[in-house]
Amino acid sequence: MTDKYIYIIVALLPLASFILVFQVNPYHALVIRAILGAIAVLVYVILGAADVGLTEALVGTMLAVTLYVIAVRSSLVMRLGILKQNTPQPESYFTELVTSLKKALDKYHLRLELVEYPDNQSLQQALVSQEIHATCIEQQHSQPNLEAKYQTAIRVHRLFEIMQQELTASETTLTYVPIANQEHQ
């Protein structure tokens, strides 16, 4: 009769695992992974394996989740190279473009990081050397009264597909730029 709580706690393991497998948001998945580890620790302790529970708590839960947080945080970013004079100013077309990019990337749990470069040559070199994922430069118009447009070149095909589907800003034209020595991303 007293073992009912053990069955309930053990039943939480596959339930938490099931929820974890179908989680879309990586940050929510990390929280559920930590909960799964805590449940496993509780099961080990209840069943008399305190040493295994301690190991699971320290390595399987705390260390693993910490490393996952670091990996997820550093990998879910799109680095956009811009020229120094294109830094966002209030009520500019570039600010609207950056807002549209952030909104499009938000749906895929990605962050946008702007990286400034002093000139176009160093900006293009950063794209080729894979320091950044995309570049955004202002196109030059022959007529000064036209709306400012931007050219966004993206080297990662999946990011290019996301931008094509999600970006509604008319301030930019998108181009995919395959890099010769680039691994499949």
- Is residue 154 situated within a structural domain? yes
Domain boundary among 59, 74, 89: 74
Do 60 and 89 fall within a single domain? no
Q: Is the pLDDT of residue 174 over 90?
A: no
Helix and strand tally (H, E) in the chain?
7, 5
The DSSP code for 177 is -
User: Domain total for the chain?
Assistant: 2
- Is residue 81 situated within a structural domain? yes
Q: How confident is the prediction for the chain on average, in pLDDT?
A: 83
Based on its alpha-carbon atoms, the radius of gyration of the chain, rounded to whole angstroms, reads 24
Q: What are phi and psi of 44, to 5 degrees?
A: -60, -45
pTM, rounded to two decimals: 0.65
Question: What does DSSP say about strands 77-83 and 134-138: parallel, antiparallel, or unpaired?
Answer: parallel
Range of the domain at 25: 4-74
What residues contact 12, with CB distance under 8 A and at least 6 apart? 39
Domain boundary among 53, 74, 95: 74
Do 63 and 80 fall within a single domain? no
Do 37 and 93 fall within a single domain? no
Most confident of the following: 38-42, 158-162, 165-169, 174-178: 38-42
Most confident of the following: 28-32, 100-104, 134-138, 144-148: 28-32
In the chain, % of residues over pLDDT 90 = 27
- Is residue 102 situated within a structural domain? yes
Do 18 and 49 fall within a single domain? yes
Domain boundary among 26, 54, 74: 74
Burial 58-91 (b: 16+ CB within 10 A, else e): eebbeebbeebeeeeeeeeebbbbbbeebeeeee
Q: What is the pLDDT of residue 143?
A: 52
Ordered strands of the 134-138 beta sheet: 111-117, 77-83, 134-138, 150-154, 172-176
CATH number assigned to the domain comprising residue 118: 3.40.190
- With H, G, I as helix, E, B as strand and everything else as coil, classify residue 11: helix
In sign, the C-alpha dihedral spanning 175, 94, 82, 165 is negative
Residue 170: pLDDT band by 50, 70, 90 thresholds? low
- Is residue 151 situated within a structural domain? yes
- With H, G, I as helix, E, B as strand and everything else as coil, classify residue 133: coil
